[in-house]
Amino acid sequence: NMFSSKLVQIISNWLDNKFMVIYRADSMHLIRKFSEPKKESIYVEKTLNEAAAYFGISSNALGYVVEGDSNEAKLCSIFKGDKKGTAIPAELFESYGTIRFINMFPLVVNALMNGGTLVVDEFDASIHPMALMNIINIFHNDEINRNHAQLVFNTHNPIFLNANLYRRDEIKFVERDEDTHYSSHYSLSDFGTTGKSGVRKNEDYMKNYFVDRYGAIKDIDFTPIFEELISRGKEV
């Protein structure tokens, strides 16, 4: 009664169809389903294999195999041999990073083609940074990202603190208070562009981060633990 039904429908459709949140991306497993699968058949997706080739997989194809009575398909490495080909479960042959990329790439395509918002936990884990940077640049490419898709992810890798990749307002930090254990969230653009703490567009963000100009960094030193163990002369 308080809001336009049309507005509510727009928001509901966005949440249902365009908002994708991937929690624990390191353990994500994409499930492929086919409406009327043929048992013991191999399904090879052209787009997925083209992306895999750019990623560095050239000795074999990747496909999905339907086994048993389930319509769910299992990701496999496909090797040419006889007319059917030989399928080996991908987790037995491919690297962990390759499997993560293959599971993640269809979601990237979905977001870009449909104007969705893709939120990923640890987006960069086990995947080559050059592949990730290219995906980020594609989201920033207005000629490709015509539907205004968005990518949001967290990372512990400072390589993404790059003025060529992000605007200052797109880089966010999270800093935890060691006394209260509360976390504060702020943007690089909050520092402004003038004064002692100002951040200009062409500065080396990563270098500044490591000299603690932006906060959200902690000095970690495990040396005392090992010094104590050595002094005690004990094995753990």
In a domain, 178, yes or no: no
Q: How confident is the model at residue 168 (pLDDT cuts 50, 70, 90)?
A: very high
Cα gap 152→73, rounded to integer Å: 29
Give the pLDDT confidence of 201-224 residue by residue, as tens digits.
888 999 999 999 999 988 889 999
Give the pLDDT confidence of 113-156 residue by residue, as tens digits.
999 999 998 888 888 888 899 999 999 999 999 999 999 999 88
Q: How large a percentage of the chain has pLDDT more than 90?
A: 33
Domain total of the chain: 1
In a domain, 113, yes or no: no
In a domain, 211, yes or no: no
Structural domain range at position 35: 31-94
Q: Would the CA dihedral through 39, 40, 41, 45 be positive or negative?
A: positive
In a domain, 121, yes or no: no
Give the pLDDT confidence of 4-41 residue by residue, as tens digits.
888 888 899 989 889 988 876 666 666 666 655 565 56
Nearest partner of 102 among 177, 23, 49, 174, judged by Cα: 49
Give the pLDDT confidence of 190-204 residue by residue, as tens digits.
998 888 788 888 889
In a domain, 69, yes or no: yes
Burial of 31: CB neighbours in 10 Å, binned 0-12, 13-18, 19+ = exposed
In a domain, 53, yes or no: yes
Q: How large a percentage of the chain has pLDDT more than 70?
A: 87
Q: Which uninterrupted H or E stretch holds 63?
A: strand 61-66
**Rounded mean pLDDT of 227-234?**
84
**Mean of the per-residue pLDDT values of the chain:** 85
In a domain, 77, yes or no: yes
